[in-house]
Amino acid sequence: MSEIRLDPYISRYATRTQGMTASEIRALFAVANRPEVVSLAGGMPYVGALDHDAVAEVTRRVIAEDGNVALQYGGGQGHDGLREQLVEVMAAEGISGHADDLVVTTGGQQGLDLLGKLFLDPGDVVLAEGPSYVGAIGAFSAYEAEIRHVDMDEDGLIPARLGEHLERLRSEGRRAKFLYTVPNHQNPAGCSLSVARREEIAALCESEDLLIIEDNPYGLLDFKAELRTSFRELAPERTIYIGTLSKVFSSGIRVGWVAAAGPIRDKLVLLKEGADLCQSNLTQLVAERWLRTQAWQEQIATFRELYRERCDAMLAELSAEMPAEATWTVPTGGFFVWLALPDGVDARELLAKALNARVAYVPGGAFYADGGGQHHARLSFCYPPPDRIREGVRRLGEVLRTELELRSAIYGG
């Protein structure tokens, strides 16, 4: 028999892995990382703004002074001292908590995975903003959840739309397991949920007995240092809060956390132990010492100013370079601008042309579980310096202009 079996294990995989296939879009991103390309794609924090010598010294002291702990296993809930420091990070945003409420995770992303494992059976409904964070979609989809997107506008998730979803679910005889939201400087939409809407949504979740997963990586990165009331404050008993040091210190250190009510926390500790026994003690102690001994709030102010400058560069260049029909969100913090492409232009199709013109973005489809986002693109301003951002937007503008000319000719527009 001449059959060639490239994957002899294929009949053994779990059914849920069936969608895990090679993707053309993913392959295209290999080019985006080349220096010739201006990448407005990745959401990487600009860790170059950290004092690397200071981080090195903190790390050296952790090993020199606390090596036997740093190089050893730790507890499933995470290092006590670090959790105390993380409570301080939450407090800086006006969010209350106790070290005992927290479970340290490998970035906020592991929090999403563990929560998916804890709450989701196949077919369960999750409500999330449309668009929503791609990593959350991936995490919840891995547990075969059905993600339903709730429309947003410049003030974030629209409470009336949430109400409609809940109504529809009721008419189907179903319930959502939770609402997943990134209320501050949302990834990818770049907008924040207004305080009035937070109160409205908290009340709605209260009346509907709906849990809230509040994912807050960007709250401290408001350009004017404004803080917005957290769901954890508005609805403490039904909010599961996810925090991370990725955007305010280092993404490479992989320290995130979940703050939740005792019963949920205990389950998460068991799940965390099942997943990886414990968080790395070494990176936990580095994070703990960083927060304890360094002026981390000043560092955040530095990040804030740096990202504001980059965002301004992007917005100014978008105004100058985008065709009249394109629209975009105006962020007040965070990393992202959400660009609506004009005239039916498909962001996925356009990506090849953009890469050939040496600029990259993320097509909006990545941020929807239901095929939405086709005509949107996420532009990140967090990583390239302002002059590169301007150059990237110029290239994208040129790509869009030629695309519109072509479409107009083809469709007789």
Q: In the complex, which residues of this chain contact another protein (CB under 8 A)?
A: 2-7, 9-10, 21-24, 26-28, 30-31, 34, 36-37, 346, 349-353, 355-356, 358, 402-403, 405-407, 409-412
HSE on the CB side for 403, CA within 13 Å?
24
Would you say 232 or 358 has its CB closer to another protein? 358
Q: Are 250 and 50 in contact (CB under 8 A)?
A: yes
CA-to-CA distance for 212 and 76, rounded, in angstroms? 24
CA 287 to chain centre: 20
Nearest distance in Å: CB 22, another protein: 4
Nearest distance in Å: CB 125, another protein: 27
Would you say 253 or 350 has its CB closer to another protein? 350
Nearest to 237 by CA among 261, 259, 254, 210: 261
Q: Which residues pair with 38 in a beta bridge?
A: 359
340: region left, alpha or beta (phi > 0 left; psi from -120 to 50 alpha): beta
Nearest to 128 by CA among 201, 199, 196: 201
Would you say 237 or 411 has its CB closer to another protein? 411
Residue type, 10: I
Would you say 1 or 64 has its CB closer to another protein? 1
Distances (CA, A) of 284 to 89, 98, 207, 299, 353: 14, 18, 39, 19, 43
Nearest distance in Å: CB 411, another protein: 6
Angle at which helix 386-411 crosses helix 347-356, to 10 degrees, equals: 120
Nearest distance in Å: CB 401, another protein: 11
Nearest distance in Å: CB 215, another protein: 30
Nearest to 43 by CA among 324, 412, 310: 310
CA-to-CA distance for 39 and 354, rounded, in angstroms? 10
Nearest distance in Å: CB 341, another protein: 13
Would you say 31 or 169 has its CB closer to another protein? 31
Nearest distance in Å: CB 186, another protein: 28
Nearest distance in Å: CB 20, another protein: 8
Would you say 129 or 403 has its CB closer to another protein? 403
Q: What is the CA radius of gyration of the chain?
A: 22
Q: Which residues pair with 196 in a beta bridge?
A: none
Nearest distance in Å: CB 38, another protein: 13
Residue type, 127: L
| H or E stretch covering 380 | strand 376-380
Q: What angle do CA 365, 366, 367 make, to 5 degrees?
A: 90
CA-to-CA distance for 195 and 260, rounded, in angstroms? 22
Would you say 21 or 171 has its CB closer to another protein? 21
Nearest distance in Å: CB 107, another protein: 25
Q: Are strands 256-259 and 239-244 parallel, antiparallel or unpaired?
A: antiparallel
Structure tokens at 63: 């090993």
Nearest distance in Å: CB 348, another protein: 9
Would you say 86 or 366 has its CB closer to another protein? 366
388: Cβ contacts below 8 Å, ≥ 6 apart: 38
Nearest to 103 by CA among 113, 345, 121: 113
- Tokens 């509907």 -> residue: 208
